[in-house]
Amino acid sequence: MDTYQRADPLVGTLLDGRYRVDGPIASGGMSTVYRGLDVRLDRPVALKVMDSRYSGDHQFLTRFQREAKAVARLKDPALVAVYDQGGGGASRQAPFLVMELVEGGTLRELLSERGPMPPHAVAAVLTPLCRGLAVAHAAGLVHRDIKPENVLISDAGEVKIADFGLVRAVAEAGITSTSVILGTAAYLSPEQVGTGESTPRSDVYAVGVLAYELLTGVTPFTGDTALTVAYQRMDRDVPPPSAAIAGVPRQFDELVGRATDRDPAARYADAGDMADALAEVIDELRLPPFRVPAPQQSAQHRAATMFGAQTTHHVDGRARTAHVPNPTREYGADFADELSSALAEPETEPEYAPVPTQFAGIAIDDFEWARQRARRAALIWLLVLVTLTGMVAAGAWTLGSNLPGLLN
């Protein structure tokens, strides 16, 4: 393990004498997420360790602790639970959060593996996402950083939102708002770019952009730099997803259009309002239920493989758990080969199995049949209405023609 520890001195250490750091899952500009273990409760956890430059910033630490407490009070299946926080202060240890470990991967990794989603899969992602955000909005909290990297998909098909409060803590401490903007340029609302203001309607805008990306596989604005991308939304509307990919229902165009309106007052008031609108779309289109699959080649799965954790995969509707033995702890030349072998040939998820009827390369036979049944039902009712109208008209005409004779 010595080779790996030199690359990351935190691996193998105990935070606050309780949380063992096993290995990194992902790293960003502000923090690194590790797979860890609560040795007191023998519970796997995710450890989000902030950059060491924050450890001596009392303004940041105060806001970091306040946001952690606020998020820990939120309860919803779609929100990643926060268990504890620590670091900073006299210890000079980097601040960290202890969170629920979601065995699976990120929505970004799923998009990279599978590409754009059919409408019923998009609805399956957005519904828990909006409901979880609605709980936070009702409590007066705004996420500020909705993007695929902050949406987790568990191996059981759960959709969960991570990283509540961190952007606010960093921004309010005045440490570096530029890094925040550069990391989320594709999803920022116009008011966030123009004034830095964030409200529940800002989260709604980000969810609208995310919905566009799920349907089309791309974000609506592109540019040479992140700031160029951010400023495009100041004077340009998000185009309808159907303009980028054929087959997107009109109802999703309207949902995305309202969520991403440049005028915040014209958007859904909050995530709860958007969740209600989405439920109406699901009912109108009769979208079938769908379990969102976790990405197979995720960083979280690789971290689990490194440390011999149990990983659960769902195949043909059945959960299969495999225990991957620990590779050599020296992480020498054989490690890459062992890891590649462990992750090779992922099993195909049944909901993405190719069949003749497809949308963007993904099977949606149930969705198409539901839409066809709805169209047939509407046509039948129209024919009945036309027939009844014709009969009434014919009766009225006959009565009118014979009325003089009847009166005589």
Look up residue 253 and give its two tokens.
Answer: 């165009």
User: What is the per-residue DSSP string for 109-144?
Assistant: HHHHHH-S--HHHHHHHHHHHHHHHHHHHHTT----
Cβ(163)–Cβ(102) below 8 Å: no
Place of tokens 């952009």: 209
Give which of 208, 103, 219, 100 is closest to 164, Cα–Cα: 100
Q: For the chain, what's the residue count?
A: 408
Report d(CA 324, CA 347) in Å as an integer. 16
Find out whether 66 and 95 touch, Cβ atoms under 8 Å: no
Distance CA 168, CA 56 (A): 18
CA–CA separation, 39 and 42 (whole Å): 5
Helix (H) or strand (E) holding 278: helix 271-285
Q: Choosing from 51, 145, 261, 273, which is the catalytic residue?
A: 145
Residue 317 backbone zone (phi > 0: left; psi -120 to 50: alpha; other: beta) = left
Q: Round to whole Å and give the CA distance between 220 and 313.
A: 33
How many of the other CB atoms lie within 10 Å of CB of 151? 27
How far is 361 from 365, CA to CA, in rounded Å?
A: 12
Residue 145 bears catalytic tag: yes
Distance spanning both ends of the chain, measured CA to CA: 111
Residue among 123, 149, 161 at smallest CA distance from 248: 123
- Return d(Cα 329, Cα 363) in angstroms, integer: 42
Euclidean distance between CA atoms 72 and 81, whole angstroms: 7
Helix ranges restricted to H, 54-189: 58-72, 107-114, 119-138, 166-173, 177-183
* Residues identified as active-site: 145
